[in-house]
Amino acid sequence: MSQLRVFWLLIFVTATVVACSGQEGGTELTANQQKLVAERIAPDGQVAMAGQAAVAAAPVAEGGRAGDAIYNSSCVACHSSGVAGAPKLGDAVAWAGRLAQGIEAVYANAIKGIRGMPPRGTCMDCSDDEIKATIDYILENSQ
């Protein structure tokens, strides 16, 4: 009889663990906490490879993250190597062609997505202003 009780106790514990494993609680950060974390993990400087120009200071969206921080975390994978036709950071000719449509069109394409680029690139939690600050950062460093 006691083996049967142990068996049912194990079944109950296993079911409880499985049922609760997908639940999260108390892990939401306030806006101030998110800002403090972003400041702590922000890079201390810039690295430039031989032949590259120094990078200009990054624009910051009002109340948001800096354009360079977003670029380095969400955009660099495609825009440093030109994946799927993405214009590279520093490629003045490629960016000039896009700017011919107007800055608002460039902002809209970054926010809504275009061709191989998904909406907001890979920064799903970026505000429109943060996306615009990131575009400004890219353009300032692609002249």
What confidence tens digit (pLDDT) does each residue in 98-115 have? Answer: 889 999 999 999 999 888
Structural domain contains residue 63: yes
Give me the pLDDT at residue 103, please: 92
- Domain encompassing residue 102: 55-143
Q: What is the CATH number of the domain that holds 137?
A: 1.10.760.10
Structural domain count of the chain? 1
- What pLDDT digit, counting tens, does each position of 74-88 carry? 888 888 888 888 898
Structural domain contains residue 123: yes
Q: Taking all residues of the chain, what is their mean pLDDT, rounded to a whole number?
A: 81
**Burial state string for 75-97 with b = 16 or more CB within 10 A and e = fewer than 16:** beebbeeeeeebbebbeeebbee
Structural domain contains residue 62: yes
Give me the pLDDT at residue 23, please: 58
Structure-token pair, residue 5: 């009780």
As to burial, measured by CB atoms within 10 angstroms (0-12 exposed, 13-18 middle, 19+ buried), residue 67 is buried
Name residues whose C-beta falls within 8 Å of residue 112's C-beta, 6 or more positions apart in sequence. 119
Structural domain contains residue 45: no
Structural domain contains residue 108: yes
User: Which stretch of 3-12, 38-47, 110-119 has the lowest confidence by average pLDDT?
Assistant: 38-47
